[in-house]
């Protein structure tokens, strides 16, 4: 037996921001400027050596994580403050959100 997985839509965002990378980063920059600057520098660095599609995935992942931090852990204002319990909470949040990764057994 094997497990098949399907990726669905990312976590919901405020109205008007879904699918709007620039709008999401603007919101994150306003709420968590240190997170936004650090993420931007990281994305610039990986764009040197990774494909454009890999950078887009990293961009979406970082935006989702930053939105999670703003919503669930407002005390986190920099990546250096992220601890193992925060990561574990994020994994639980990802699993519980609408449009999460769905696993099914193939026969």
- Whole-angstrom Cα distance, residue 44 to residue 90? 24
Give the pair of three-digit tokens for residue 38: 């650090």
Rg (CA), the chain: 15
Residue 60 contacts by C-beta under 8 Å, 6 or more apart in sequence?
A: 10, 21
Neighbouring-strand partners of residue 14: none
Q: Name the 3-class secondary structure at 1.
A: coil
pTM of the model: 0.72
**71-100 pLDDT, tens digit each:** 999 999 999 999 999 999 999 999 998 876
**19-68 pLDDT, tens digit each:** 567 888 998 999 899 999 999 999 999 999 999 999 999 999 999 999 99
């Amino acid at each position: 037996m094997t497990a098949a997985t399907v990726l669905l839509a990312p976590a919901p965002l405020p109205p008007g921001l879904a699918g709007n990378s620039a709008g999401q980063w603007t919101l994150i920059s306003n709420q968590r400027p240190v997170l936004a600057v650090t993420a931007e520098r990281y994305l610039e660095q990986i764009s040197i050596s990774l494909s454009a599609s890999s950078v887009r995935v990293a961009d979406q992942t970082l935006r989702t994580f930053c939105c999670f931090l703003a919503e669930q852990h407002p005390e986190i204002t920099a990546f250096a403050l992220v601890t193992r319990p925060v990561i574990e909470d994020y994994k639980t949040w990802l699993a519980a959100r609408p449009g999460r990764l769905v696993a099914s057994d193939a026969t």
